[in-house]
Amino acid sequence: MTKARRIYEKIVTGILFSSSTITSFTVILIVVFLFREGIGLFNSTPTEKNYVIAVSRQNTIPIITSNELADIFNQDITNWKQLGGSNDSIIRLTLNDLSGIFTEEELGPNLEYFPQKLNEYVKTTPGIILYLSKEYIPKNFAGRIIPVKKITLLDFTFGKHWYPTSAPIPQFGIWPMIVGTLMVTFGAILFALPFGMATAIFMSEIAGSRLRNIMKPVVELLAGIPSVVYGFFGLVVLVPLIQRLFGLDVGETVLAGSIVLGIMALPTMVTVAEDALHATPKSLREASLALGASELQTLVRVVIPYAKSGISTAVILGTGRAIGETMAVLMVTGNSTHVNYSFLQPTRTIPATIAAELGDTSFGGVHYNALFALAIVLFLFTIIINLSVEVIKNRNKGFNQPR
């Protein structure tokens, strides 16, 4: 072997090695970037940049949460007493309310006297809460800027309200989306499981090789159809059907999402389950048949138990497919971010939320961060799914090779 050849081989090996490293590097990069952008949500106050919340100096409340703020500005909380403060009714002040309190001359044509007036007003109004851009806050401000509590993981996960763009305070509770995702996915599995298993059993146990050769490409084609096409089909066929069938105002429902997702999860389930059933050793089957068991008994008592872990893998992988699916669900579930526990109401899943909203966010803003945090949740879901597949695989290995 010549020297040139040896150098050539070293280089090729190097290229091979670096390629394989890129892959693992990519996963790490994905995690890093998701967290980098997502974690920001929990590190910043949720109010918009350059805006402040302030109260009177007499006000004794030290810090305020975003939920409380939302309630105050929604007028669900009207007295400081409700938050443990003094008995003063709450008076809200934002830029929109100015005209009700001050006259135009008082403020000047470009609001140049406003900071001064504001000071006077704050001094005399113990119940005030104001939400204003920093530029209007005078140097010798008579009020007190009150800090807003950062969003906690708990608020984020179990918060029931998702108002990512509302002022003065957006709310990022993802509970509606978690519920939506789980319900749609659960419905999809419920729909796909019987059909998927029946098809898998049919293909591996009953169908002759001719039929099998027809079914296999059918399943593959089903897997190949792009998700937007499923979404489109759901939108123009399924949604109106459901609307009419159940006499609903809108047909875009959890049910529609479940059916579309169920169809999309079918190929994964069928393929994996069929492989598992097919892998049952012939000798086991023949042994059972030789003992006088019928085909059906053999199937139920020998084949299915043997293929059990493969079948669970099929279900889990189908779930994985369903949980991460974006476009189809986005198109048929109606985009509602209210908590909903009914199959006949609209909802929105985690991936659909990201797809629907990310385009409207500004890079680095709280909303942007919140969507990345949402992606982390989705990522965790899929990691859990991957891990459970691994666990089942490993357990099965030990079971099949007792030595």
Partner 1 sequence: MMSFVVVAILVIILGFIAVRGIGVISWEFLTTAPKEGMTKGGIFPAILGTGCLVIGSMVFAFPVGILSGIYIHEYLMENWWKKFLRMMTNNLAGIPSIVFGLFGMALFVNYLKFGDSILAGSLTLGILTLPVVIRLTEEALKSVPDGLRLGSYALGASKIQTIQKVVLPVAFPNILTGLILSIGRVSGETAPILFTVAAYFLPRLPESISDQVMALPYHLYVLATSGTNMEETRPMAYGTALVLVSIVLIINLSASLLRRQIQKKTKMH
Partner 2 sequence: MTHAEVNNVNVWYDTIHALKDVSLKFERNTVTALIGPSGCGKSTFLRLFNRMNDLIPSFRMNGTVMVNNQDVYSKEIRIDEIRKNVGMVFQKPNPFPKSIFENVAYGLRVNGINNKTIVEDTVERSLRQAALWDEVKDLLKKSALELSGGQQQRLCIARALAVEPKLILMDEPASSLDPISTARIEELIFELKKTYTIILVTHNLQQAGRISDLTAFFYLGELIEYNLTKKIFLNPDNTQTQNYITGRFG
Residues interacting with partner 2, by CB under 8 A? 1-2, 5
**Closer residue to partner 1 (CB): 83 or 327:** 327
- The least CB distance from residue 339 to partner 1, in Å, is 22
Q: Residue 94: helix, strand or coil by DSSP?
A: strand
| Residue 270 site contact among partner 1, partner 2, none (CB < 5 to 8 Å, cut-off depends on kind) | partner 1
Which 3 state secondary structure label does DSSP give 143? coil
Provide the angle, in degrees to the nearest 10, between the axes of the packed helices 254-278 and 209-224.
Answer: 140
- The minimum distance between CB 5 and partner 2, in angstroms, equals 8
> By C-beta, is 139 or 403 nearer to partner 2?
403
Partner in contact with 225, chosen from partner 1, partner 2, none, beta carbon below 5 to 8 Å by kind: partner 1
Out of partner 1, partner 2, none, what residue 198 binds, judged by CB under 5 to 8 A for its kind, is partner 1
Strands 91-94 and 128-133: parallel
Least distance to partner 2 from the beta carbon of 242, Å? 55
Spatial separation of the C-alpha atoms in residues 143 and 130, rounded to whole Å: 10
By C-beta, is 1 or 296 nearer to partner 2?
1
Nearest to partner 1 of 111, 215 (CB atom)? 215
Tell me how far, at minimum, the Cβ of 1 lies from partner 2, in Å: 6
DSSP 76: S
Angle at 334 between CA 328 and CA 338, to 5 degrees: 125
Beta strand pairing call for 171-172 and 128-133: unpaired
Residue closer to partner 2 by CB (options 5, 139) is 5
Token duo for residue 159: 């918060």
Q: Which does 386 bind (CB under 5 to 8 A by kind): partner 2, partner 1, none?
A: partner 1
d(CA 315, CA 272): 9
Indicate left, alpha or beta for 247 from its phi (over 0: left) and psi (-120 to 50: alpha). Answer: left
Which CB, 17 or 363, lies closer to partner 2? 17
Residue 37 · residue 368 · CB < 8 Å: yes
Partner that binds at residue 320, options partner 2, partner 1, none, CB closer than 5 to 8 Å by kind: partner 1
Task: Find the shortest distance in angstroms from Cβ 201 to partner 1.
Answer: 8
Q: How far is the CB of 3 from partner 2 (least distance, A)?
A: 12
- Partner whose binding site includes residue 392, from partner 1, partner 2, none (CB under 5 to 8 Å by kind): none
Closer of 192 and 254 to partner 1 (Cβ): 192
Identify which of 64, 47, 44 has the alpha carbon closest to the alpha carbon of residue 129: 64
Closer residue to partner 2 (CB): 1 or 22: 1
CB 16 to partner 2: min, Å: 18
Beta strands in 164-308 (DSSP E): 171-172
Q: Are 168 and 306 in contact (CB under 8 A)?
A: no
2 binds, among partner 2, partner 1, none (CB under 5 to 8 A by kind): partner 2
Minimum distance from residue 282 beta carbon to partner 2 (Å): 23
DSSP 38-71: HTHHHHS-SSPTTEEEEE-TT-----B-HHHHHH
Choose among 221, 227, 226, 250: nearest CA to 238: 250
Q: Please name the residue that has the structure tokens 């089909």.
A: 233
Is 268 buried (19+), middle (13-18) or exposed (0-12) by CB count in 10 A?
Answer: buried
Contact partner, 394, from partner 2, partner 1, none, Cβ < 5-8 Å per class: none
